[in-house]
Amino acid sequence: MIKKHALLAIAGGVVLFAAFSCSGEKKSPAKTVEYNQPLTSAEISGGKLTAEILWKFGRVSDATVSPDQKTILYAVTRYNVAENKGMTDLFVIPVSGGEARQLTHSDYSASNPRWTPDGAKIAYLSDESGSSQIWEINPDGTGKTMISEVDGGINGFVFAPDNKKLAYIKDVQVEKSPSDLYPDLPKADVRLYDDLMIRHWNRWNDYKHSHIFIAGIDNGKLSGDKDIMPGEDWDAPMAPDFNIDEICWSPDAQSLFYSCKKLAGKEYAVSTNSDIYRYSVADGKTDNFTEGMLGYDRGPAISPDGKYMAWTSMATPAYEADKDRLMIKDLSTGKTQDLSEKFDQSASSLHWSADGKSIYFISAVKGTVQLYRAEPSTGTITQLTSGVHDYTSLAQAGNDLVAQRMSMSQATEIYRVNPSNGEAVQLTNTNKNIYDNIRMGQVKERWIKTTDNKDMLVWVIYPPGFDSTKRYPALLYCEGGPQSVVSQFFSYRWNFQIMAAHGYIVIAPNRRGLPSFGQAWNDQIAGDYGGQNMKDYLSAVDNMKKEPYIDGDHLGCVGASYGGYSVFYLAGHHEGRFKAFIAHCGMFNFESFYGGTEELWFPNHDLGGPYWQKPQPKSYGAFSPHLFVDKWNTPIMIITGERDFRIPYTESLQAFTAARMKGIPSRLLVFPNETHFVTKPQNSILWQREFFGWLDKWLKNK
């Protein structure tokens, strides 16, 4: 259940903190904390990636180009493990290349960095005043000024092109809480609900919704704030991501376009029907520009002349992993065109070219993520880049593109890309000190035949210093999603290079149900969780076992979310192939999962509906792992977070109970304050130590 857009939270998460009292009174930091920590002599002499080194990486994000197209603004997040905290600072670097310059050196993280439309200032969010407010600095880092004083703080903002106003988002209480209903019981501790959704991913419904406000900019300060969604009980941008890129201005600054799912209660929980709305600044009127389109409609982008809107749209209602089509609408005539009708891939991150003749976008293809260009006038789509990497963002800089890129062997950095030939020049080298001192394992692509005679891409990651004359234990990696591509992502937990550095060969198949190999390959998994994709996993393992350097008697199987489900299911169907399992936040019992999860459109589509439906969908009786515990006989580690509402932690508790009652060697890790993901530094390092401690115990002790 890790969504596509789930692969970005992991890579760029920021832990914000402030040294203030609840009243907002400023306190001096107790001590100076160092977030840019060098490698120790032991880490350098070891020469291999470790959990501790992973937390010394600078995590690059939010690359954006100045209005004059000459300078890139970006953020770097670093962590201090001892403090268990992270800090984000802002940097600039010339588009032409050169030295990066750090702009902020504060004790408070910067987020949502933006150039002002005239390029004279850089704005960002910081909680330095006690709540998250907008601050501005000069492009050289001087002249820091707070320009907003919004009660309750701001969660994101975007400038209007005229530089006279901006849109920002903040939480607004629109439903009555228990304290509103019972003001005479101020110490009562309860949540009251009459309808779904009562919680979402990692937070309970707190009776508040994210609303969009428009404010003027008067003498460098915000003024005249107006909620453009007064009284509405839905979120914009949409939960759970609240992505500020779901909001954009028209070039004339007279209209604001935004994505929203204007449904509530049970309807919200079972539907993906979001739409693109236009709010008119002049008369306050709101129009639905995608009415009647019943799947996800997101990411509006307006052409430079203001005549066209591009956006991504899913055709199938209640199917979150449908093809993201590249759509375009003539705003005067209403004529709509699917530019990707003959393009069997999804589109994301849409950007119009400066001349309005092209739309640049990102798309996954064959286990990588590349840059593309669409020509609305001809309907032509051209792949601009190739190679073993993932592009994760893009912006235009003159005749070039500026994009963030990563691979299994390199964390995110910023590149300048020539769209005419795809040539890329690396501009930032944030973690050079690490790459200079550790060895990465080789990553190879391998195509194997599946049981139904299809070709499947399997990424194979080899230990540093791999010797083909030796024999290595191997790990089958089971991807989450389930519709989430095994691409060239660099993860700070499920990191293939750290697995390889521990002496394991990693087998990472793009099994059935994963995007980037055509929509039919992606769609096949729905209603067939224990079917072809499980055969694909075993085909990959059986193929790799033929290699003399694979120790076929010492194979492990690991995965999270749908990957955790895969581990639970394979534990009852692997026929002795594996000697150890690790399942993180996996589904164990489909009936209890349905009753405990929140985004009900997901099991309604993928499992076939609720378990009480008559006749009962096949998935419940054929593919629920708890029905096959009688065949479990292999050591298993089970990991979960108590704040995971996507796959509640009770699924893992059930699996652990079953394993112990069966007398199977097993270990349970429960993180009380983690969600579907483990994001805190010390928790993550502990996770890695336990992960490899378990694998080493069962796969290396011969």
The residues that are catalytic are 561, 644, 676
Give me the phi and psi of 540, to 5 degrees please. -65, -45
Distances in Å between the Cα of 366 and the Cα atoms of 149, 190, 370, 390, 516 are 48, 49, 10, 11, 5
Looking up tokens 């479990």, which residue turns up?
632
The whole-angstrom separation of Cα 336 and Cα 444 is 42
The whole-angstrom separation of Cα 133 and Cα 116 is 16
Q: Which two tokens stand for residue 196?
A: 């779904």
The whole-angstrom separation of Cα 678 and Cα 687 is 8
- Amino acid 303 reads S
Q: Which two tokens stand for residue 362?
A: 């990102």
Q: Which two tokens stand for residue 595?
A: 């009753």
The whole-angstrom separation of Cα 260 and Cα 639 is 34
The whole-angstrom separation of Cα 109 and Cα 286 is 35
With contact defined as beta carbons under 8 Å apart, do 457 and 447 qualify? yes
Looking up tokens 């009415």, which residue turns up?
291
DSSP run (H or E) holding 601: helix 601-606
Dihedral, CA of residue 424, residue 428, residue 432 and residue 435, to nearest 10: -40
Looking up tokens 């990651």, which residue turns up?
461
The whole-angstrom separation of Cα 100 and Cα 121 is 18
DSSP run (H or E) holding 537: helix 532-544
